[in-house]
Structure 1
């Protein structure tokens, strides 16, 4: 899945455990975390984001990690957000077992979900030899 920076880095850093999306996702499982080519510049001014990504490179146009999507939910109306990263009125994709890559793997993606080519999966697997989905 492609996600704009700095959000992808916040997920790979382990702090941001959800991704906000406008629609519910039924799919669950392992996915590549692809940093899209665009940077959400206003997000860089958000204190939570700034603290999380401090001293981290904001790579774009590359896979920078692997994570397992385990849930998709909305917070009940009037309730506290499930995490400080949750946006009201959105669906929250919940990630676990995040594995950052030692080196970014350049790739062309698209915002949202997409199916990676086998050679991209092979290049990612080379960097995580002990990873067993």
Structure 2
């Protein structure tokens, strides 16, 4: 399948994630906590939300260690990842990762790739369908 034949948004989604969590994913955070389960599996553009991070979050030891020396772009796609699973930890079980919040649904991401330059685009809550122009710029070889 050539790039020209890829259907707009049918094989990839965008996910808007607040900072500093979006940058943490680029640096090794492998779950995103959400209040509801998601059925989508596949590629997602990692879009950093427009809101500035709360100062208290940046003082969290795990977050501070993870984002040290990195910028926190806002309102831009900063990477791409493959969403492979969505689960909750069983009651009383230890968290699946140090990033997992108890009671939350954990979106598991793999194959994380950081973009060389953030792509400034609008995002939205939940999963959204990007246009091919939002994908092709820095990811010309990305395929379903």
Scaled by the length of structure 1, the TM-score of the pair is 0.92
Match of 1:92 in 2: 106
Runs of 4+ in 1 over 3 A off after TM superposition: 128-133
- Whole-angstrom distance in 1 between the partners of 2:117 and 2:40: 27
Alignment RMSD (CA, Å): 1.2
- Runs of 5+ consecutive residues of structure 2 not aligned to the other structure: 1-14
Map Cα deviations across residues 105-124 of structure 1 (whole Å, 9 max, x no partner): 1100013211112211222x
Query: Quick check: 36-45 or 22-31, which moved more?
Result: 36-45
Q: For this pair of structures, how many residues does the alignment match?
A: 129
CA contact (8 A) 1:66 1:100 kept: yes
Contact 1:12 1:99 in 2 (8 A): yes
Counterparts of residues 36-47 of structure 1 (less than 5 Å)? 36-41=49-54, 42-47=56-61
The structure whose Rg is larger is 2
Deviation of 1:129 after TM superposition, in Å, equals: 4.3
- Aligned pairs for 1:52-131 (under 5 A) are 52-123=66-137, 127-131=138-142
Unaligned ranges ≥5, structure 1: none
TM-score of the pair, normalised by structure 2: 0.85
CA distance in 2, matches of 1:128, 1:121: 6
In structure 2, distance between residues paired with 1:74 and 1:67: 20
Deviations 1:23-59 (A, max 9, x none): 0111100010000101331311111000000010000
